[in-house]
Chain A
């Protein structure tokens, strides 16, 4: 039993694949589905870059096996924008909350989860909610500004 058939929904689209049981969910998204917006920073659950949403909650996709996502509904960064950018993406753009952009998909997922539960977070609450996501080039000041702005956009 080293290969397993899985069926799951990613960004509204159903996929069915046969995968090795040891394949990480992050690798499945990138290599099997070619959704390379989910970035892999550390590969062992430290940096938060691979954070995605599964069944309504954020998880680090490098800390799950693809076979564990059988039947799951997943949203990756590719599923955020419609015709226009998602308000959180728009706010990150406006406030220069990304420089190289490597950590951004994880920050977006964490921010969306925060704002869904707390539409008007304080700076302390924003920093608490994002502390599992590392950024090594932009710095956190503009990211915090962007989250504040995103909260405004989403409340409007």
Chain B
């Protein structure tokens, strides 16, 4: 298999990359780790005139902490994110599901966000943790919360002249869990739940965030489940009711892997499992 012809540019500075983006816009595709874009190229589902390779662009990778906030450069490889002590534990857990080792060695955190595959783990973790995407263009910089970033399958809020620069994650709650089901072990997610939460002294849930993969054509939060669990002790009955409330209006995709109804049933079970695991941790 062979990609269609394209111009390849590998700028070494961010201003150089942003200038090319401003010039080429929609005709350019940014090549980060290539673990999603390269298959699209060889299958000719993507035919960019310009492949803007940012692998040699300085200053786009690394993980730092600022007042409890974790800042992860978009080009940081997934394996590095997974293993860094600064990485929020939920994100590290989620990345453990994100493809085999050779893919995580090359794939980047920013690439996973910008590609926005609805079955990808990192976007769901980012949504659960209220991450903020830092988008840069020659027009300037803007910050987009994860809740406004993932718009549809493979569609994000990134404008054609913008580049995802950094993912910022505010301090989270002390407990977390990530539960996933696929057709085969380690296969693409059919459904998954990411949660982080806090318990009060009586063991009741005092804060909780829940994000789902497979409940829609993009990762979504389940606010009704979050509300239903707030102030509750995690019993089988409260968990079942919360899961049903959270997924009541869900419109999951129906495809060869699973029907919409099956995804809802699986998600209800995963939600209960994840919250219980987080509470027990």
Contact = CB atoms under 8 A, between A and B. Distances in A.
Contacts of B8: 1, 4, 21-22, 65, 67
B261 interface: no
A114 B43 CA distance: 31
A57 B3 CA distance: 24
Interface in B2-50: 2-10, 34-35, 38-39, 42-43
Contacts of B6: 21-22
| Chain A interface residue bracket vs B | 20 to 34
A25 to B, nearest CB: 10
B61 to A, nearest CB: 14
Of A43, A62, A65, A114, most buried by chain B (CB within 10 Å of CB) is A65
Interface string A111-136: 00110000000000000110111000
Contacts of A43: 1, 42
Contacts of A1: 7-9
Nearest to B187: A131
A57 B78 CA distance: 13
A71 B9 CA distance: 16
B85 interface: no
A68 B55 CA distance: 8
A63 B38 contact: yes
A64 to B, nearest CB: 6
B5 A64 contact: no
Contact of A59 (B4, B53, B105): B105
Of B6, B99, B100, most buried by chain A (CB within 10 Å of CB) is B100
| Chain B interface residue bracket vs A | 20 to 34
B204 interface: no
Contacts of B34: 63-65, 68
Interface in B231-261: none
Contacts of B3: 22, 24
Contacts, number: 87
A78 B1 CA distance: 23
Interface in A14-43: 20-24, 27, 43
Of B4, B6, B105, most buried by chain A (CB within 10 Å of CB) is B105
Interface string B66-95: 000000000000010000000000000000
Interface in A136-151: none
B204 to A, nearest CB: 35
Contacts of A22: 2-6, 8
Contacts of A23: 2
Given A63-B39, A110-B102, 8 more contacts: A21-B8, A21-B51, A43-B42, A57-B106, A59-B106, A63-B35, A114-B101, A133-B100
20 contacts: A2-B5, A43-B42, A44-B1, A45-B38, A45-B39, A48-B102, A57-B105, A58-B105, A59-B102, A59-B106, A63-B34, A65-B53, A67-B8, A68-B10, A109-B102, A113-B101, A129-B101, A131-B100, A132-B100, A132-B103
